[in-house]
Amino acid sequence: MAALTEVKLETLNIQKTMSVYPLHGRAYLVRPYSVDLSSSLVKTGRDYYDSQELLAKMIANGELSEGTRFSTSAEELALQKSYEMQGKDPRKAEEFKDHMGKGKQGYVWGYTLTGLRVPEGWQNGKKDTGTNKYPRIVLLGDEEKDLIQVPEGGGKVIVEYDDVFGVATEVRGMPFPHKGYNAHWHFNPSPRLDEKTGHYDVAVGRRGDWHHGEDARCLNVGADYGRWLAGSYDGFRPVVRGSVPEIEVVDSNVDIEQVRQEIEKKLRADIATELRPLKTLFEKYK
C-alpha cells in the first residue's frame, strides 16, 4: 500500500458554489475553501465501508496523516472543472489517469464520501412526474444533507451539474466527441437495500468507461452501485488536509423570488464583485 511519502499532493482551491432547486424553494451554498489531495487514487479492491476501515488502518499505521478522508463528488467535479476552465481536456489530466487505466495501479473506480439515498415514498424507481427526475437525499459519509433531484442515467452526457454536491442535473444523448462535455452520468433508480443502513443507498463515484463510437475512455460519474458492492478495481482519493465543507441551506416555503432574495442577502457582504454572474444564474429560473 502506498505510504504518504509516496503520494504526490496538490492543493485544490474550491470557489464559492451554489445550486438552486426552484420547485423545492431551496438552494445550497458552499463558501470558498481549499484541500490538499492526492493526484492518484489508493486502490483497495474493497467496498465503500471496508475501504473506510482500511483508511482508518492506514492512518493508524502512519501511512496517511490524521484526518485524511475520502474526497467528495463535488471536489472531484471541481478538479475536473479546473481543467475545463483552462480549455484543457480533464480526461488527459494526471489526477484522472487511474480512472483511465493509465496509472501504475491499472484501472481504479473511485469511491467518494458522497452517496444518494431514496427518500421514503420514492422507492422502486418512482419519478417526479413534474420534473421527470428522481428525488434523492444526498449523503456525505453517513450524514444526510438535504433533498435534490437527479436525472436518468444510461451513460448520457452531463451538460449541467450541481456544483455543491457534484452530481448531474441535466443530461443529453450526444454523439462523440461531444466537445466541451467530458463526463457521462450513470444512475440506478431502483437500488437494493443497504443492509448496513437499512436504506436504499448508492455510492457516488468516478470511473472511466468506453462508450459506443468512442476511441478512448471518458470520465463517468456513477450513482448506480451500492456502497456494499466490492470490485477488485475499487479505491478512493485521499484528501490529506481540509475538512468536509459546511453546506448552507436556504429553505423557504414561498416562491423562488424570496429564495433569491434570501441568497443575495446572505452573500451581499462578500460577493460584490460576483453579483453579475450570480444574477445570471438566477435568470435561468425565472
Q: Using one digit for the tens of pLDDT, what is the confidence trace for 201-241? A: 999 999 887 655 555 678 999 999 999 998 888 999 999 89
Specify the pLDDT at position 256. Answer: 52
Mean pLDDT for the chain overall: 85
**3-class secondary-structure state, position 30:** strand
CB distance 160 to 66 below 8 Å: no
| CB-based contacts of 243-246 (< 8 A; 24+ apart in sequence) | 243/67, 244/69, 244/72, 244/113, 244/140, 244/141, 245/14, 245/30, 245/31, 245/33, 246/30, 246/31
List pLDDT tens digits, range 98-134.
Answer: 988 877 777 889 999 999 999 999 999 999 998 999 9
Residue 169 CA to residue 163 CA, distance in Å, equals 10
For the cut 70, the answer to whether the pLDDT of residue 254 exceeds it is no
List pLDDT tens digits, range 44-73.
Answer: 999 999 999 999 999 999 999 999 999 999
Specify the pLDDT at position 50. Answer: 97
The DSSP bridge pattern shows strands 9-14 and 234-236 to be: unpaired
**3-class secondary-structure state, position 37:** strand
- In the numeric block, which cell numbers belong to residue 99? 480512472
Higher pLDDT, 9 or 117: 117
CB distance 232 to 46 below 8 Å: no
Structural domain boundaries in the chain = 4-257
For the cut 80, the answer to whether the pLDDT of residue 267 exceeds it is no
For the cut 70, the answer to whether the pLDDT of residue 11 exceeds it is yes
Specify the pLDDT at position 212. Answer: 53
CB distance 224 to 153 below 8 Å: yes
List pLDDT tens digits, range 149-168.
Answer: 999 999 999 999 999 999 99
For the cut 90, the answer to whether the pLDDT of residue 26 exceeds it is no
Residue 162 CA to residue 148 CA, distance in Å, equals 9
CB distance 196 to 172 below 8 Å: no
CB distance 207 to 243 below 8 Å: no
Specify the pLDDT at position 3. Answer: 39
How many Cα atoms sit within 13 Å of 90 on the Cβ side?
25
Residue 217 CA to residue 151 CA, distance in Å, equals 22
The share of the chain scoring above pLDDT 70, in percent, equals 83
pTM: 0.84
Mean pLDDT of 127-145: 95
Mean pLDDT of 189-197: 97
